[in-house]
Chain A
Amino acid sequence: DVKVTQSSRYLVKRTGEKVFLECVQDMDHENMFWYRQDPGLGLRLIYFSYDVKMKEKGDIPEGYSVSREKKERFSLILESASTNQTSMYLCASSLYPDRRTGELFFGEGSRLTVL
């Protein structure tokens, strides 16, 4: 079974803090994604990566950055957390580079609260 592991299930941070959300997958998947999920807004893509050291902006990249130094690890960074970044963050990976790119495996999520 594919396992996507997010290091922290629950985090509480203060406004202005730097926040790191870590995600590791164990199936040698090429593609990794970061989404946030908010009530009424659904899942929104923040960043994605199709290869090591490669990243592309999703729909809402403002206030976020990412790092992919190794194939299995994709980190989401909030340089200066703000209250509007309080959300559920979901990491996902997928194996295929073609039309099956949308066959995602999700981690359990990291619920971030920014005070």
Chain B
Amino acid sequence: QKEVEQNSGPLSVPEGAIASLNCTYSDRVSQSFFWYRQYSGKSPELIMSIYSNGDKEDGRFTAQLNKASQYVSLLIRDSQPSDSATYLCAVLTGGGNKLTFGTGTQLKVEL
């Protein structure tokens, strides 16, 4: 079982819709979770971090964490074509000193 799993996509949504990206993880003691965005040909950039169960909102982005079910999700409201990118889920594992990435979900926002 992979430590961090994501559906590779592509996930296609129309402009203005809500995009929902999901991630599951295997290490039950993980405490820190992150979402990175990576445009084609560019490096990943951090967009959200979440440490407690529940929702965390930042502008059009909402991260959701459910430790009991071991999943974390990212919602993007009012999706824009500029949101088209690969979204990487990352989990701090190994006792909290190693960041493990999922393989990413490609999001396409269509006009």
Chain A residues with CB under 8 Å of chain B are 33, 35, 40-45, 48, 50, 56, 58-59, 90, 98-109
Chain B residues with CB under 8 Å of chain A are 31-34, 36, 42-46, 49, 51, 88, 90-92, 96-104
User: How far is A50 from B88 in the complex, measured between Cα atoms in Å?
Assistant: 23
Q: Is the interface of B mostly helix, strand, loop or mixed?
A: strand
A43 touches B88 (CB 8 A): yes
20 further interface pairs, Cβ-Cβ under 8 Å (given A90-B43, A99-B92, A102-B34)? A33-B99, A42-B101, A42-B103, A43-B88, A48-B97, A50-B97, A58-B98, A59-B98, A59-B100, A90-B44, A98-B96, A100-B49, A101-B32, A102-B90, A102-B99, A104-B99, A106-B43, A106-B44, A107-B43, A109-B43
Chain A residues with CB below 8 A from B42, complex form: 108
Chain A residues with CB below 8 A from B49, complex form: 100, 102-103
Chain B residues with CB below 8 A from A108, complex form: 42-43
Pairs of residues from A and B, 6 with the lowest C-beta to C-beta distance, nearest first = A42-B103, A106-B43, A43-B101, A99-B32, A102-B99, A102-B92
